[in-house]
Amino acid sequence: MSHQETTVWKTIRAWCETNGHYEVSWGTLRLEDLRDAFSEALLLMDPQGKYATLLEEAEQMKEGDEHFNEVIDELADALDACAPAGYYFGVSEGDGSCFGYWPLEPEEDDSEA
């Protein structure tokens, strides 16, 4: 996946390499909290503004809005698209309220079977 290396992106990649992951949101599944954390991270990861329309839409969402969950999913997909090489954006296997960048599982080598 191609990504223009910004200072923030380089910092997050270095954090992932040093600590094994980078947490964006933890301890909550409240939609407003996820929106705020995901939007803040996406602003940092997307300085060219590719996702500006999505961020504007997310900012307008309020608890109870019909499409709020879909917007959260779109923010998560955008953060995944900005993931450092070898990482994905998603939820921690051990904590369903901890979202961040996690290492991809190495592909199984068929030659070892």
Question: Which residue has better confidence, 109 or 35?
Answer: 35
How do the domains of the chain map onto residue ranges? 30-106
- 2: confidence class by pLDDT, cuts 50, 70, 90: very low
Residue 82: predicted pLDDT = 87
Give 36-84 pLDDT, tens digit per residue: 999 998 988 887 889 999 999 999 988 888 899 999 999 999 999 988 7
Question: Which residue has better confidence, 113 or 95?
Answer: 95
CA-CA distance, 75 to 97, in Å (whole number)? Answer: 16
**Cβ within 8 Å of residue 35, ≥6 positions away:** 58, 59, 61, 68, 71, 72, 75
Residue 6: predicted pLDDT = 60
Number of Cβ within a 10 Å radius of residue 54: 18
Q: How many Å separate Cα 59 from the centre of its chain?
A: 17
Distances (CA, A) of 54 to 14, 29, 74: 27, 20, 8
Question: Which residue has better confidence, 77 or 17?
Answer: 77
- Whole-prediction pTM value? 0.76
CA-CA distance, 40 to 17, in Å (whole number)? Answer: 21
Nearest one of 84, 91, 85, 93 to 34, comparing CA atoms: 91
Average pLDDT across the chain, whole number? 79
